[in-house]
Amino acid sequence: MAETPIANGGTADVPGSRAPQCQRLLCMGGSLLEVRAEVPKAFLEEYKLRPNAVVQVEGHMQSMLSEIGQLSGEAGLALEYAATGAATNTALTVQALLQQDQGPMSSEAIRRQTPIVSILGGVGRDQLGYKLQDFLKQTGIQPLFSEIVSESTGWTALLCASRRERAERPALSSPSEDKGDGPHKLAVVYRAIQAGAANQYKLDHLRFKVWEQVEAAGVVYAEATFLTVSFESVKILAEHCAKMGNTFCLNLSAPYVCRYFGDRILTVMPYTDFVFGSETEYMALAEQKKSEGLCQDVDSVATWLARMPRSDGEVERRRHIVVTCGSRPSLVASTWRGYGVKVQRFPVPPVRNRSFVRKDGAGDAFAGGFLYGLMHEADVDSCVQLALYCASVAVQRTGPGYSFKDKPSLDKT
């Protein structure tokens, strides 16, 4: 099958696979190269890294990454590379679901297939950037990165003490608080991050280099943190989706983004079809309304956002506000023509304590499961159930990847 671009949000076939037709997905956000390594305890003490905490790289810490590579080569310690970042994790979730549809494929076959998932952001013109892009291509994701000459590629280090210096079973990827006995006993993890080029993006890259890929996407997903990087780029994508009848989705990303950049979020809200976020993020976004005596709880916040007028004036086109509340039921507030807003709650499947190994990435995986449903034009109930399933898988994984062997089926709208 020829690899021809599909304009205006068309559907894509996956060559040589059993995967059904689906819309293409474009994600926008900061991508980082993740380095997973075992290091001596002296290294952790030198850089003053704290257990199960994230430290911003600055000053003398700039040499950390090169020293990790040197230690790995000299001592033969474990060293792995992966891709990470909120939107990147979501893209990886969607791609893993698509890969499950296709069945086993060689890495070369994955590289040759027409990409359905793309990720847009900023990287440096350096070896780290090339390594990050190559990793994404190996998974089947198309990197659409603006190369920032003045900044190096963003990276994060996920570290644990070498197995020779600790009694625990090594687990590079597991920042777990479960330190009990048994097969799920995990190592304490230390994190460091340098955003670098992930905090920059060139608007000309969107307009002149990747616009064909924008037109081919039926579903566009942006993390709200990117509104602080390139607000115009996100707004242009949102406006394009509204004009072409494509689906635009926004993830609120973090409470601080909602609190300090809420005006930017509300500016793109009229173009938005689906909004994802945690209860804490929604309440942070509505702090000003709360001081005015409005939006006192998450139901009222979700109703307020769902009711905001659409830019296209389409009263029949519904906006869905999706709220995750930890282990409590997730909430979806949807507009209904002539009937206000309908609020639904979906119970969260329980995860056994012995199986719960990590907190990070659950929200990104939730969004990925939901987007996969949207790409296949599934109804909202099916999208939520798949999202909850993906979040459940995410908190139980001990590696960087995802395995979705028993995902629920989708019902079409």
Task: Give the residue, 250 or 37, on which the prediction is more confident.
Answer: 250
Q: What is the DSSP letter of 120?
A: E
pLDDT per position as a tens digit, 244-299: 999 999 999 999 999 999 999 999 999 999 999 999 999 999 998 877 777 889 99
pLDDT per position as a tens digit, 320-370: 999 999 999 999 999 987 678 999 999 999 887 666 667 778 999 999 999
Helices 362-375 and 380-394 cross at an angle (nearest 10°) of 150
pLDDT category at 11 given cuts 50, 70, 90 is: low
Judge whether 11-29+86-150+200-394 and 34-84+155-194 match in fold: no
Question: CB–CB of 252/277 below 8 Å?
Answer: yes
At the topology level of CATH, where does 34-84+155-194 sit? Adenosine kinase, small domain (3.30.1110)
HSE-CB for 253 with a 13 A CA cutoff: 25
- Would you kindly state where each structural domain of the chain is located, as residue ranges? 11-29+86-150+200-394, 34-84+155-194
Distances (CA, A) of 387 to 12, 55, 253, 334, 405: 22, 30, 16, 17, 14
Domain 11-29+86-150+200-394 has CATH 3.40.1190.20: yes
Which range is least confidently modeled, 123-132, 167-176, 191-200?
167-176
Question: CB–CB of 140/115 below 8 Å?
Answer: yes
Q: Identify the active-site residue in 126, 178, 204, 364.
A: 364
**Rg of the chain, C-alpha, whole Å:** 21
Q: Is 364 a catalytic residue?
A: yes
pLDDT at residue 182, as a whole number: 38
Question: CB–CB of 329/348 below 8 Å?
Answer: yes
Taking phi first (over 0 means left), then psi (-120 to 50 degrees means alpha), and beta for anything else, what does residue 93 get?
A: alpha
Q: Which two tokens stand for residue 308?
A: 């905001």
In whole angstroms, what is the distance from residue 246 CA to residue 248 CA?
7
- Give the residues across from 161 on adjacent strands: 39
Q: Is residue 258 exposed (0-12), middle (13-18) or buried (19+ Cβ within 10 Å)?
A: buried
Amino acid letter at 291? S
In whole angstroms, what is the distance from residue 282 CA to residue 225 CA?
14
Q: What is the DSSP letter of 412?
A: B
The average confidence (pLDDT) of the chain is 87
Task: Give the residue, 403 or 247, on which the prediction is more confident.
Answer: 247
Q: Which two tokens stand for residue 312?
A: 């296209």
